[in-house]
Structure formats: structure tokens, C-alpha cells
């Protein structure tokens, strides 16, 4: 059975899916038509119902819940791993609502968390996540919300942190930060959905058996990143919640959905 599968080229996703897509584990009769794309592209594709299994920002969950179900394995959830609001220099937080802010996609969890912290900030410019640092440096925007590996590089470019959006979420809710999850079409039979969930779990376990060594699959897709940054990326975004959301993870997702509904 062939299924379409989408996830990002970031180290956390390629680390999770390496064994699955490269047949390092027994995938039974399943094969995958794999698409590696920026998460906002995947979010937009999910609105069209394009892929059978896909990584999505939790922020888009409400918009696709009629057609997609969240799996227990493969999620990016945790503490101290949220998006950051950065700028060229310190800016008082009460001025943020009047500034132009770069965001890595309308349907991203980064944008949702920013909106929770700054509900009056409406001057947003949607950009590819990897372009935001340079847009801030050039003055194209006043500040930007950064995600992924940019958490580890912004200071090297002389940028400063205005707020850690994940820290704000944790302090105000007590929950870990739900960033993204793996979703599967509800049209896929329930037993097959269960099998695929277990395969993703096994795929991640397989990658852990050789970690901190990184496979060529992980390194070849990482964007301009040395291996130490790749490991920082994996250590931050891949954890116990990636193996299984559990009750704590599910409660965090529910809390985020409730916050998103209040902003609508």
C-alpha cells in the first residue's frame, strides 16, 4: 500500500522518519511517496487534503480536524523550545503592536503563539522561516518570529531576543509547547492508521540506536548547518512526546486549541 507522506527537511523530522522512508525497519506492505517541504507549505496542502500523512503546525489543527487525525508519534512538543521574537535592538514590548513583524506562515504555531502574546499586533509579513533573520537585519521588517535552527544562530548575527514565545506560553498555562504533530487522513482505515502510528514510533527508536551519530539522510537535508547545530535541533525538538504524546502532551494540544478558538 502506497501512501503520500510529508514532513520538513529539518533535522528533527528527518531524524524521526529516516528509518521509515529508507526501509531501515520492516514497513510491511507500506511504501511512501515522500515530500519534504517547509511546514507552512504542508499546512496549506492539508487545507486542500493533498497528503495522506503529514507534519502540520498544531495551529492549523482546527482547520483540518474534519479530515485529519493526530497520531501519537512524531510530534514536536516540549519545554524551552518555542519560537522567539527577535530584532536588531531592544524594543519595548508595548511597542510591538505598532511594528511590522515577520512571521513564518499564517497557519504556523509560531504565529499563533505570537498572536496569543500580542493580540493587537496586526502588521505581519509572511515569509519563509529561513529568510526572517536577514529581513530583520536589512530593516525590511522591525522584528521577526524565528523557529527551528534559527534559535541557535540569531545571536551570531548580532540580533537580540525580545521575547521567548514558548516561555510566555509555559508561564501562562503551565503546559509544554505544542509546535507540530503528525496527522493522517481519517479516510485511511483505522487499523492502518494504528499500524502507521506504531511504525513512526519504531522509526524514531531506530534513529536513537545510533545517536549522536547522524545519518546522511539527516545531514543532506539540513540547511547550512553544522552537525553540532543539527544535534542541538534534535535534542530540543525530539523527546518523549515525539515517541508518544501521552496525557500531558494531549492536554497541551487541547489547551492550544482552546486558545486558538478564543482568537477567532
- Of the candidates 148, 201, 221, 233, the residue annotated as catalytic is 148
Annotated binding-site positions: 55-57, 109-110
123: left (phi over 0), alpha (psi -120 to 50) or beta: beta
For the question of residue 233 being annotated catalytic, the response is: no
The CA distances from residue 262 to 112, 167, 175, 250, 258, in Å, are: 11, 20, 17, 19, 6
Q: Residues 6 or more apart from 140 whose CB is under 8 A from it?
A: 102, 125
CA-nearest of 89, 34, 64, 21 to 181 is: 64
CA angle 116/7/3 to nearest 5° reads: 130
Q: Residues 6 or more apart from 224 whose CB is under 8 A from it?
A: none
Annotated catalytic residues are 148
Amino acid at each position: 500500500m502506497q501512501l503520500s507522506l510529508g514532513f520538513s527537511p529539518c533535522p528533527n523530522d528527518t531524524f524521526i522518519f529516516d528509518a521509515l522512508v529508507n526501509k531501515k525497519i520492516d514497513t510491511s506492505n507500506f511504501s511512501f511517496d515522500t515530500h519534504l517541504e517547509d511546514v507552512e507549505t504542508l499546512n496549506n496542502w492539508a487545507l486542500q487534503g493533498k497528503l495522506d500523512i503529514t507534519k502540520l503546525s498544531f495551529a492549523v489543527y482546527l482547520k483540518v480536524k474534519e479530515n485529519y487525525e493526530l497520531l501519537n508519534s512524531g510530534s514536536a512538543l516540549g519545554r524551552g523550545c518555542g519560537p522567539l521574537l527577535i530584532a536588531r535592538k531592544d524594543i519595548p514590548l508595548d511597542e510591538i503592536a505598532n511594528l511590522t513583524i515577520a512571521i513564518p506562515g499564517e497557519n504556523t504555531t509560531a504565529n499563533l503563539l505570537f498572536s496569543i502574546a500580542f493580540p493587537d499586533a496586526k502588521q505581519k509579513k509572511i515569509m519563509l522561516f529561513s529568510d526572517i533573520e536577514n529581513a530583520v537585519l536589512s530593516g525590511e521588517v522591525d522584528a521577526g518570529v524565528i523557529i527551528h535552527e534559527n534559535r541557535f544562530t540569531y545571536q551570531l548575527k548580532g540580533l537580540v531576543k525580545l521575547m521567548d514565545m514558548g516561555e510566555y506560553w509555559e508561564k501562562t498555562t503551565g503546559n509544554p509547547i505544542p509546535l507540530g504533530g503528525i496527522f493522517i487522513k481519517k479516510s485511511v482505515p483505522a487499523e492502518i492508521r494504528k499500524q502507521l502510528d506504531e511504525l513512526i514510533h519504531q522509526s524514531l527508536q531506530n534513529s536513537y540506536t545510533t545517536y549522536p551519530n547522524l545519518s546522511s539522510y539527516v545531514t543532506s537535508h539540513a540547511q547550512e548547518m553544522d552537525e553540532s547545530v543539527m544535534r542541538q535541533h534534535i535534542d530540543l525538538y525530539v523527546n518523549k512526546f515525539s515517541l508518544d504524546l501521552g496525557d500531558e502532551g494531549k492536554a497541551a494540544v487541547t489547551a492550544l486549541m482552546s486558545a486558538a478558538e478564543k482568537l477567532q
